[in-house]
Structure formats: C-alpha cells, structure tokens
Chains A and B, each alone.
Chain A
C-alpha cells in the first residue's frame, strides 16, 4: 500500500507567472482590524438557475463550491488538489482500489452527520443513468463503491486512474436524505444557504457547527447582475463590496487611481477559443488550419480586447494546468507563410466560411477582428450571431458548423482533444493514446510528461486556434481583503474574506 500525501498530488511544475499571480489579493488586515460579523456582498454575472450540482450550470460552482458544499478533495485557488472531507487515503499496489477515511465529526447543515453512505450517494448521483453532469464521464472508470463502515469509502476502478482524487474534487458531497436539491442545499461547508431570490441574490450565513475554521466574515450575499455596467455602478455606490468580473479594460478606468477601490488581477482558466470543425473540409487539411492560425495577429487581438491584460498561451492548456508549456511560437502570426500554406493546400484564392458567434462579449469584437485578419489570406468570414443556447444545440450537439468562437472555462480539460466524439471533430490517434495513457501513469511526473507531449502535438496540428486567456479582474472596495483572485473553474471561496472595521 502506498500512502499519498497532499504534496504528491500537487503539481510542482508551474509557470513562474502563475505562482506570482496565485497569491491572495489585497493587503493583510490583522485580526484586530476586521469585523468578523460583517456581511460581504459579491457582485456576479453568473446566477445559478438551479442549485443541483448534478446539472452542469456555471454559477453553482461560484457560489456553492467550497462555501456550501465540500468534496473529498478541494481544488485550491492556486490550482493544487488538497484533501478536504477525505482525511486520508491509501491506494492498493495495482492502483485500482482507493480507500478513503473521512474527516470525523463533520455535520451537514441539517444537523445529520457525514457518513460513508453520503459519499457513496453523492458520487453515484453523478454517475447515474439520468445524470446530466459534465463530470459523469470522468467517473466512468469506477466499478464499485463500498462502505465497510461509516467513516470508510472504498472505490474500485477498472484501470489505474491518476486523476481520481482530482476528479473527486468536483463531486459535491450532499446529504443522502436531502431529496431534490434544485432549490435547497444541504452540504458540509462553512456556510449554509440562508435564503435566495431568483433573479437577484443568494445569501449564505456561517454554519455554527462547521468542522473546520470558521469564516472571517458574518456571511456572504451573491448579488446577481445581467449587465457589467450595472454591476460596476453597484460597486461605485457601495451596494456591493466586490465585483467578480470587469467586462472591459475601459470599465477599469473608473476604479483606477481611486484609493477607495482595489483592483486585483489573477490568472483564469477562461480561454477564448476559435474552434474549426476539423472533421469537414477544408479544415480537415492541417495546412489550412495552420494558415488560419498564422493569419491571426493574436497579440494585436488581445490588446484590442483587453488592453494590457490577459495572456497569450498558444495552446488549449491554461497556465494553472500542470502540463502547461508556452506554445506561442507554434503558428505565430506570419501572414506570408499563411498565404504560402493556403496555396499549397489548393486554396490560393481562399474560400468562404461561416463563424458561429455567441452574441455576448468578447466574441463579437473578436469575430470582427478575425474577419479582417482572415481577409488578408483570402478567407471571406461571415459572422453568424447566435444565442448561447443555440450554440449548444447547433455547434455542440449537432456539430453543424465550420468555425466557432467560444470560451472554454474548465481547469485540466485537455482531454476534450482526446475525445474524437467531441465537437472539435479532432481525431489524432497518437493524441488519443497519449491522453488515455497519461491517466494510467503511476506518478504525476509521468502524467505530466505524457500530457505535455499531447499538448505539443495538438498545437502542432493546429487542432484549434487558441486566441488568448481572459484575465480575471476583480475590483473590490479597499476595505475588503482575503478574496481569491484566480477563479479557476469560476470558483470563489468566500470564507477568508475580511472587511475592515
């Protein structure tokens, strides 16, 4: 038996830029300075329409993960995986059996104790036939979940899976007797769901019997907006303490050089991706894809959208993933070689193509810049504005598209390129194998090696055009400190936030 500590799971390879960004924001308010009873109001654009985590909706992660619900493991703001409800775990020699010991004396908000049965129930509801969770696939290798006693969970998997603890960090542990969780919550986190008003707010209050450290504030209200200007106005007028999203660099001007506000920039996992449907002509031709990538002046594009903010990454992998490498040099802006590649592929005179563009920013601005850049190599790009719902139906489900713009927000999601059934239409058997093999590796170093190799191949293949990594810019009232700034997977831990007296 091998005992895995936290550090084994933590990716050591990480870009220097990330380590620098991954610190907590703001100054350090000493214990005496802050008001432990202060309510913190957080402005957000991502209202959860349902609170049921087995339905994959963005806003749940932000308001509930780590705050109301906890998992066996937690993905920290720095991108590390640490033990949470799992106090310890062991892995068998064949790496197919994981035995988890649960934290003792953990209570759900309803007052019931956490038992192994709750953990089993929580994992199985994501794996269930009717589950709509995007995380279902990541748990498909599980063959059985046993609960020999109330504090032990034994998970058996069909083949070794190094990401099991990581994948379990996404599974909210819910009370197995809670019933329908779409408009109620029963978790083990530092806050309980006090009240909510659809279209307006979710109010979380500290849970008195929390097993860990109590929050440094008296609760948090997530206040929801449909327009970034309205959210900025609310911050300006003191109606909210923190704005989790600044829509554009222009909006920052009203807060910059103002001592009443703090601007914190972190690294996100939110990437602006120009995906080409690799399964249809002419995008099945690698030369065409590379030509398109080289025709786009990505530094200029990023500057037009975000000014001095945001990062060019040159691949699908965000810097907080352990297998990140800077691949900006692959298919960098080079219109001359792009034209040569087009000619070589037989498209000297270019072609017409349609871009499915969700009608939200920054996609609309990006689409117009792409239109101009691609015209240089003879590609006549027409922009088709669609709603996010239509995007899901037309592009994701039916794969009825040539090119599309979309923001990919997940952490560690390179596996999408290892799935030939995914909407990218990309199928390189070598990449599929590398990604599948990486999962069965015994050490993190080997996993990182395989996935780094896969990432390079994907970039060389120009399987997509990875335009830029969106910055995550939080603006807060300057009397508020201790909030997370990276927002990986859109998560937002509120328990360390302090408000000065």
Chain B
C-alpha cells in the first residue's frame, strides 16, 4: 500500500511540475487552432476557448479540480476525448513494449546465464563485449540501421507505418511491429543480460549451491532446483523496471517507425501545446509504470516463500 501511495504521490507531483513547466514555455495552445491570416480578435477568441487567457492560478485550480475528478478532458485541437485517444494509441504501444520485452528476455536470460556459468570461455567474453556495445548504441540509431538492412536492402519487412485497418488484420499489425520490437529488444537486452549474468554469478558462489552439490546433486540439477529460483528474485525486480524502460523506449522508437502510439501522441501534443493530451499521456504512463511495479512485486512473492510468510501481499 505504501508503494502505491508513493507512486500516486509522485504522479501528482509530476503532473504539477509538468503543469508549471508547460506554462513557462513560450507558445500558446490557441495557436494550434489558428493559421496565418487570423486577426487579433480571432486569436483572443481562441485563447478564451482553450482558457489560455486566464491567469495561471485560475488555470491551475481548474486543472486540480479535473485531476481529482479523474477527468482527463478533451483535446484543445480536435475536441476528441483524451482517454479514448490514449486507448487507441495503447493498442500500438502496449503490444510493442510487450513484444520487445519478451524478445529481450529471450535474448538476455540464456545468454546471461551462459556467460555467468562459463566466465572463462571465449564466448562469454564475446557476449560481454556485445552487451557493452548494445548499452552504448542509441535506440533510434539501431532502428535506422535495422530499416536499412531489413527493409531497404532485403525488403523483408516494412520500413515503418501502421496499417489503417489496425487490429482487424492482426497479421499486418504484427508485421509492422517486428522491426520496432527487435530494436527495443536489442537495446534493453544489453542491460538485462548484465543483471542476469551477475545474478548467476551470485548464485554460483552461494552456500546453498555448494550444499546441494555436496549432497550429490549434479550441477544442472542443483542450478535448476535452487539456483534459478533464487537468482530470479533480484532479476524480477529489475525486470519490472526494464519493462517500464521498454515502454518508454517504445515512445522513442515510435517516431523512427512512424507508429501511431502514445509517443507520437505526446510529441504532437507538445508541439501543439495541447495541454489536456500531454497531461493525459503523462498520467496514463505513470499509471502503467505503477501497475508493472505492482505485478513485479506480486511475482516476487509467488516465487519467494520468505516474502509470502513474513509480510502481507499488500505491504
């Protein structure tokens, strides 16, 4: 419970900071409704419509009131419900983050364990070097590289874009998500691999592994029965954070691949100073991070009986 309270508090603080920062930035949401040729009276009318003519304190009061009513409002530019729009965008961002995350685990977990178990082998060194390189490569650059190779040169996958039919045709959606998901996977796998490797090293040096081997268990037996469950506990708490990273990575990668997800919604909203959309995206993203953290907590307790016994599920 304490953890949830902290996250809600940070959501609140983040929204307030964002509110003030947005209004300190030069620019006016009314401009999104106007174009060159509009006269001063029209500009004032547009400001009145979006409320940017009101004193900051008044805008702040109405913002707070909406927050407490959990009302995300409607876009300044097109009157569309912010919540509906976020819902539509999440059908892109959530699958993208989840697929990217699962791919990254498929890369990081086996490679991390291999390089942890066989530290002195040449391939462990190679894996370690590759993960270092992966950490240093910016996500967007990786994306551009993959497009060059797999779309432009080989023509296997689309270079970007999202089918107009959406999930009505799951096949074409998945095709459009492959390259962006691989981009995300490669970037976060690099750091995940390092966590898995160090957890493996900890496990190998632990007393229970030595005891298990002393009692006659073979190495694979001991590792599968005692090493993996113990090693996965710290890894899961890190994975919770990594899933949030995948989610944030999706926001950046969407721009490279022209995907209509939460990230492109946020960038357009910032360009237009469309405050309701910006605030809505921030709140929902924070909520998602909160849920991921909570799930990671639950999973840890399921795996680790010590946590289950000593404390309640909701701490």
Contact = CB atoms under 8 A, between A and B. Distances in A.
A131 B155 CA distance: 48
A130 B34 contact: no
Contacts of B158: 234, 237, 239
B135 to A, nearest CB: 26
B36 interface: yes
Given A132-B45, A223-B161, A387 B78 contact: no
A92 interface: no
Interface string B73-102: 000011110000100110000000000000
A237 B26 contact: no
Contacts of A195: 164
B149 interface: no
A56 B88 CA distance: 25
A8 interface: no
In the complex, which range does the number of interface residues on chain A fall in? Answer: 35 or more
B241 to A, nearest CB: 28
A136 B38 CA distance: 8
A182 interface: yes
A195 B163 CA distance: 12
Given A199-B268, A230-B256, A410-B37, A397 B159 contact: no
B78 A397 contact: no
Nearest to B26: A390
A200 B80 contact: no
A49 B264 CA distance: 13
B85 A198 contact: yes
A4 B203 CA distance: 91
Contacts of A57: 32-33, 35
B193 interface: no
Contact of B38 (A134, A182, A390, A413): A134
B31 A392 contact: yes
A182 B78 contact: yes
Contacts of B33: 55-57, 132
Interface string B203-237: 00000000000000000000000000000000000
Contacts of A197: 88, 162, 164, 166, 260
Interface string B169-183: 000000000000000
Contacts of B159: 230, 233-234, 236-237, 239
A199 B89 contact: yes
Interface in A190-229: 195, 197-201, 203, 221, 223-227
A183 interface: yes
Contact of A225 (B28, B77, B88, B258): B258
Contact of A134 (B34, B45, B261): B34
Interface string A29-52: 000000000000000000001111
Given A199-B260, A227-B258, A234-B159, A393 B28 contact: yes
Contacts of A501: none
A239 B162 CA distance: 10
B199 interface: no
B120 interface: no
A278 B27 CA distance: 23
A421 B40 contact: yes
Interface string A268-302: 00000000000000000000000000000000000
Given A136-B42, A198-B265, A389-B27, A233 B79 contact: no
B43 interface: yes
Nearest to B264: A199
A221 B162 CA distance: 12
B164 A203 contact: yes
A343 B32 CA distance: 43
A248 interface: no
Interface string A390-409: 10111011000000001010
A413 B35 CA distance: 13
A180 interface: yes
A440 interface: no
B106 interface: no
A134 B45 CA distance: 13
A408 B36 contact: yes
Interface in B18-60: 26-28, 31-40, 42-43, 45-46, 49
Nearest to B156: A237
Q: Which of B33, B155, B259, B271 has the most CB of A within 10 A?
A: B33
Nearest to B166: A197
Q: Which of B27, B43, B79, B265 has the most CB of A within 10 A?
A: B27
Given A56-B38, A132-B34, A237-B159, A394 B26 contact: yes
B272 interface: yes
B256 A198 contact: no
B153 to A, nearest CB: 10
B28 A392 contact: yes
Contacts of A199: 89, 259-261, 264-265, 268
Interface in B232-276: 255-261, 264-265, 267-268, 271-273
Contact of A392 (B34, B77, B78, B258): B34
Contacts of B13: none
A386 interface: yes
A14 interface: no
Given A132-B46, A393-B31, A49 B78 contact: yes
B89 to A, nearest CB: 7
Interface of A: 49-52, 55-58, 129-137, 180, 182-183, 195, 197-201, 203, 221, 223-227, 230, 233-234, 236-237, 239, 386-390, 392-394, 396-397, 406, 408, 410, 413, 416, 421
4 closest A-B pairs by beta carbon, nearest first, are A134-B37, A199-B260, A56-B35, A392-B31
15 contacts: A132-B34, A198-B260, A199-B89, A199-B259, A225-B160, A227-B258, A230-B160, A237-B151, A237-B158, A389-B27, A389-B31, A396-B36, A397-B31, A408-B36, A410-B37
Given A55-B33, A134-B35, A197-B260, 5 more contacts: A130-B49, A137-B39, A199-B259, A226-B267, A227-B256
